[in-house]
Structures are given as structure tokens and as C-alpha cells.
């Protein structure tokens, strides 16, 4: 099994739709750290699991410097963002989304 990990930072804003009162219901931003873990039993024709540049393009192109409420079709919690990224990156099996140094959500297939 081959493994690669890509770490990147994106800046974006969101407002959460919650069942309780919270300051997170107001539009606010984060400098998110995203870690994408990919694996494959075989390498592609270029000798890679997934090109690091493609991972960055797929995530940053969709989410960087955006209001996530306007580009994602769900409540943009860190958990939901992690799953969306995992579903949109080739060979991804785990994604960690850090919205601050102390707060991380992960999704693993």
C-alpha cells in the first residue's frame, strides 16, 4: 500500500446553523489547516498515488477565500467539510480539518 499526505492552509468564512444559541451562528473566518491522507495499492501512470498539486487545486480552488455557506450545500461544520473534502479528492481515505490550533474534526472512510 502506498500513502501520501498533503497539508495545506485555506482561509474562508462560515456561519453555522445550530439548534442552540452560539456566536458561531454569526459569519466568522478561520485559517483552516487541512490534512488529506490518500492511499492506493497501485501507482498511477505517473508513479503517484495522487498528485499533491491536484489535491491543493481541488481544495483551494473550491474553498479558499470563500464564504463556505455560499459554496457548500450543507451546514459547513468542520466535520461536514472534512467529509466533503474526502469525497472530492482522488484516493482520499482520511481528512483532518483544523479550524484552530486546538480544534480539529476528522472524517475517515
What does the domain layout of the chain look like in residue ranges? 2-13+29-108
Extract the C-alpha cell encoding 81: 467539510
Residue-wise pLDDT tens digits, 66-90: 999 999 999 999 999 999 999 999 9
pLDDT tens, residue by residue, 29-64: 999 999 999 999 999 999 999 999 999 999 999 999
2-13+29-108 belongs to which CATH class? alpha beta
Given a contact cutoff of 8 angstroms between Cβ atoms, the answer to whether 36 and 87 are in contact is: no
Query: What is the pLDDT confidence band of residue 24, given thresholds at 50, 70 and 90?
Result: confident
- Whole-model pTM: value is 0.94
Amino acid at each position: 500500500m502506498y500513502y501520501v499526505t498533503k497539508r495545506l492552509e485555506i482561509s474562508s468564512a462560515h456561519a453555522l446553523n445550530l439548534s442552540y444559541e452560539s456566536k458561531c451562528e454569526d459569519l466568522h473566518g478561520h485559517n483552516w489547516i487541512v490534512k488529506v491522507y490518500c492511499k492506493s495499492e497501485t501507482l498511477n501512470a505517473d508513479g503517484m498515488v495522487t498528485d499533491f498539486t491536484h489535491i491543493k487545486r481541488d481544495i483551494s480552488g473550491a474553498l479558499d477565500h470563500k464564504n463556505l455557506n455560499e459554496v457548500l450545500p450543507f451546514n459547513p461544520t468542520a466535520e461536514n467539510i472534512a467529509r466533503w473534502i474526502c469525497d472530492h479528492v482522488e484516493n482520499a481515505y482520511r481528512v483532518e480539518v483544523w479550524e484552530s490550533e486546538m480544534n480539529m474534526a476528522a472524517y475517515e472512510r
